[in-house]
Amino acid sequence: MEATYPTNAIILNRRDYREADRLVSVYTPEFGRLNLLARGACKWGSKLAPHLEPISISKILVVKGKGFDYVGSAIMSEAFLSIKQDLNKLYFVGQALAIFSRLVREAEADEELYRWLEKWLYNIDDTSPNLPFDKEDGRFRLALFSWRLLSLLGYGTQLQTCVTCDENIKAGKNSFDLSRGGLLCSSCQTSMDINVMGNPLVSLSDNCIKLLRLIDGGEIKNIKFSPKLLKEWENLNIQRLRWLQA
Ligand SMILES: [Zn+2]
């Protein structure tokens, strides 16, 4: 890495640091996720601060420092105003970026992941009247975001056959095995005591399994989740994220 380098950066979040500085977490196409020091960003009239607002894309200059690398300059190129002016969008995008920051390790470049996150933000920012965004839409998009992100990070799922016996999954009492990232059939579940063994299983309904298979197959256009199924999917995502971060 050069001592100074320019890059595009999606601003994920920031926090105050020391008296007048801020630590800004950004995602870049060339260097992955970086934690950068923004000197004096807490001071009134800071030139940097307005260009390092979370949920924005900025062109920044990264300067190698002794402790943290720091932001030499920043110019915002995309403010995603439609997200910021809609509390509902703001809430769900904030949640998504928090999940992203927690799961994506520092300094691992992945340009495909950068393009994906960028496209996701532009999609939510879209203000076309045929793209309403209510609370249900937000929950669905956040669930889809978590599911896809996990798969892009290498945590794909096995939903056709059982992770233990490899038999095709039949309708009935199936569970998702968090440690192996796939479905466990009913006969394999009864052969082990999930409580005593502490195997992290989440039971899944047949309808939820069907929808998740469609999603993995890329058919999301005509998918409609009932509130009950959406809740089931959200719960599975929460359990998977917890398991991966434990
Ligand atoms: Zn089995």
- Domain extents for the chain? 4-78, 174-245
CA 155 / ligand 1 centre spacing (Å): 20
Residue whose entry in the numeric block shows the structure tokens 């496209």: 119
CA 201 / ligand 1 centre spacing (Å): 13
How far apart are alpha carbons 147 and 215 in whole angstroms?
A: 9
DSSP state of 158: B
* pLDDT score at 189: 83
4-78 to CATH, choices 2.40.50.140, 2.40.128.690, 3.40.640.10, 1.10.1760.20: 2.40.50.140
* pLDDT score at 129: 75
CA 168 / ligand 1 centre spacing (Å): 8
CA 159 / ligand 1 centre spacing (Å): 12
CA 35 / ligand 1 centre spacing (Å): 44
Write the CB contacts of 74 (distance below 8 Å, at least 6 apart in sequence): 38, 48, 51, 52, 58, 59, 60, 61
* pLDDT score at 193: 45
Report residue 212 as tokens. Answer: 């998740």
CA 78 / ligand 1 centre spacing (Å): 49
CA 193 / ligand 1 centre spacing (Å): 14
* pLDDT score at 101: 95
CA 238 / ligand 1 centre spacing (Å): 24
| Ion ligand 1, residue ranges at CB < 5 A | 162, 164-165, 185, 188
Write the CB contacts of 123 (distance below 8 Å, at least 6 apart in sequence): none
β-pairing, 21-28 vs 32-38, is antiparallel
Structure pTM?
0.93
* pLDDT score at 196: 41
pLDDT < 70: residue spans in the chain: 1-2, 190-199
Residue 62 · residue 7 · CB < 8 Å: yes
* pLDDT score at 51: 97
Residues in the chain: 246
Write the CB contacts of 6 (distance below 8 Å, at least 6 apart in sequence): 59, 60, 61, 62
How far apart are alpha carbons 190 and 178 in whole angstroms?
A: 17
CA 198 / ligand 1 centre spacing (Å): 18
CA 178 / ligand 1 centre spacing (Å): 15
